Amino acid sequence: MRKDRAVIGELAILLKGLDSAFTLVKAGIDRKRSLDEMSNEIGSFFKKKEAVEDAILKAKNNGDSEMSSLEEARQIEELEYQIEKQMESIGREYSRQGRSPAWSRIKANSARIQREKELKAKRKAERNNEDDELIKGLVLVFVSMVGAVALIAGIVFLIFGAGSEI
C-alpha cells in the first residue's frame, strides 16, 4: 500500500508542477506574448510533461499495485486527458501565430520519443522477468543439490550406521 501511495504522491507532485508550468504558459498566451518570448515557459512545461509521462509509464508498469485496476486506469486516463487538453491549448497558440508546421514536428518528435521510452521500459521489464526466472532456477538447483546431499548422507548413515549397532 505504501508503494501505491508513493507512486500517487509522486504523480501528484509532478502534476502540480505541470499545472504550474501550464499556468505560466497560459498567462503568456492570454497576454498575447510571442512563442519566442515564452520559450522558457514552454520548455519548462515540456520538461514537466515528460516527467509526468515517465511517472505514468512507471505506474502502468507497476505490477505491485494494490489499487483496483479500474481505479488506476481511471486516474491514468484523467491525467492523460488533462495533458492532452493542455497540449491542444499550446497547439492552438502555435497555429494562431502561424507556426503549425513547427507544432506538427514537435508533436511527431514527442510521440516518437514516447514510443521509444515505452519500448525501452517494456524491454527492461522483460529483462527483469528473465532475471527473476534465472534466480528462481538457480535457487531450485541449489535446494535440490542440498536435498540430494542430505538424502545420500541419510542413506549412507542407514547402511553403515545401522549395521554397526547389531
Given a cut of 70, the residues of the chain with pLDDT beneath it are 1-8, 62-68, 162-166
Residue 162 lies in a domain: no
In the chain, how many domains are there?
A: 1
Residue 159 lies in a domain: no
Q: Which domain holds residue 10?
A: 2-98
- pLDDT at res. 133: 92
Please indicate, yes or no, whether the overall pTM of this predicted structure exceeds 0.75: no
Burial class (CB in 10 A: 0-12, 13-18, 19+), 91: middle
Please write the tens of the pLDDT for every residue from 46-78. 899 888 888 887 777 766 656 667 777 788 888
- What distances in angstroms separate CA 133 from CA 35, 88, 142, one per listed residue? 51, 44, 14
Residue 84 lies in a domain: yes
